[in-house]
Structure 1
């Protein structure tokens, strides 16, 4: 399958929100001069404590939010709103309950005026890619949570985005389903070469999937440190990957840095990796 890739550049992005509580009005500074370069075909994990602006940054990348200052470009073109070069998988699949799995995947193509036969063929191809071609005619209430998330992933891929954004799409799933979908994401990345940026609180997931893990710090949100993962691709069996000394060492390194921001005394007392 030919890869459709794009590089992403985030330059000095800052964002604040106005919060009203009764008569009180407060400006909450969510992101402060965030800069990051994502290479074409790279998979990046954004992680960090709650409130560090991970989801806000993802929404700015998608075009749902506008930065107060700074700029975001995809293949050199500035992001000024939602576009066909980006799509997103949300925490909840957000499927239309009255549509079948196939019709949900078709939705983005339908909105773009793709002819029915072509969009049905494309949607079925994407359902096959996520292992759900057999469930094409089922409605969301006939699908498990993991299957619904697969449909959401197929829908995001159906429009052939150059950049795939994922906002904790597996956070509400049980461990076994989550690990199955992590393997699916690795396989799809291997087959499509998409540039993928995903948010996760799970450090295991970040190290398993990403080429680099971007640790963000809160109040206001900013990049604390960037960790190259260094595990070879393709990563194959995730059970084997989890057993690698390199996996454990990298996860511990990121955890120790994360704890240094949240609980400095505990992090200082923790032994160094190795």
Structure 2
């Protein structure tokens, strides 16, 4: 196993959120006994209907949320909070507006006490990796949405995490920019070998990028089915990949299962008047 890779084990994880409005207490059972093994260097997509707990599971993996029961292990060590072995790319880049692209990428290294010369070298290296070596001095308001997401990706990679988590990182972008960044993720994976777990509602994106697609079902959130993606590697030309018969067949299989589950859930819900 490469030094920058890690296996992830999600073991029987459940999570309930409790909300209080005045005297009323409501419980939302978000995750129900979720178990999943992600191999070192694997790309896994989490998809499913809204409310199936995808983002909550990702936040538990990062350490921002605690599971009510069960546990998450990274390379055999239990996750008890945020750590340098994991980093997240969010749907919105969440850059500091007063910092340059370089300063934003340096931030995580600065927080870890990395000396100035080393963090500058690392930040420049990661900006080059995501194709932004020419924009190091630009502030976020001088960058397009796609460029901002590249900065966010560079920032996440700057701490050399073993596991890269992504929560719909391209969901707010136009189709052309999104496709460009999908290709970038695959290129970066080829170069770094990171273990990647990402959330997406886009089935095309899931099939294009992932080695396995995990379809989750809601109420409560649970794993419905896992689909191995059998497409030739490396997936360098995504236009060609999209045109392959296998791509269409696997996307349709996941879509059909998703829609079948949605129809079954709607039929089971009591009628309202």
Is the aligned partner of 1:114 residue 2:127?
no
Residue equivalent to 2:200? 200
Aligned-partner SS, 1:138: coil
Aligned residues of 1:123 and 1:158 also touching (Cα < 8 A): yes
Distance 2:19 2:133 in 1: 45
Aligned residues of 1:86 and 1:161 also touching (Cα < 8 A): yes
Residue equivalent to 1:53? 53
Normalising by structure 1, report the TM-score: 0.95
Q: Are the structure 2 counterparts of residues 255 and 138 from structure 1 closer, same or farther at C-alpha, using a change threshold of 3 Å?
A: same
Aligned-partner SS, 2:134: helix
- Structure 2's unaligned 5+ residue stretches are 267-273
1:110-149 equivalences under 5 Å are 110-149=110-149
Shift of 1:239: 0.3
| Deviations 1:79-127, CA, capped at 9 Å, x for gaps | 0000010000001000000000000000000000101011001000000
**How many pairs does the alignment contain?**
265
Shift of 1:233: 1.8
Distance 1:20 1:246 in 2: 48
Residue equivalent to 2:227? 227
| Deviations 1:177-209, CA, capped at 9 Å, x for gaps | 000000000000011000000000000000000
Is the aligned partner of 1:212 residue 2:212?
yes
- Structure 1's unaligned 5+ residue stretches are 267-274
Aligned-partner SS, 2:98: coil
Residue equivalent to 2:269? none
Residue equivalent to 1:270? none
Aligned residues of 1:3 and 1:192 also touching (Cα < 8 A): no
Is the aligned partner of 1:102 residue 2:102?
yes
Shift of 1:265: 11
Residue equivalent to 2:153? 153
1:1-274 equivalences under 5 Å are 4-264=4-264
Residue equivalent to 1:272? none
Distance 1:236 1:219 in 2: 38
Aligned residues of 1:34 and 1:222 also touching (Cα < 8 A): yes
Aligned residues of 1:101 and 1:139 also touching (Cα < 8 A): yes
Shift of 1:74: 0.2
Aligned-partner SS, 1:26: strand
Distance 1:19 1:50 in 2: 19
Shift of 1:35: 0.1
Shift of 1:43: 0.1
Aligned residues of 1:3 and 1:193 also touching (Cα < 8 A): no
Residue equivalent to 1:271? none
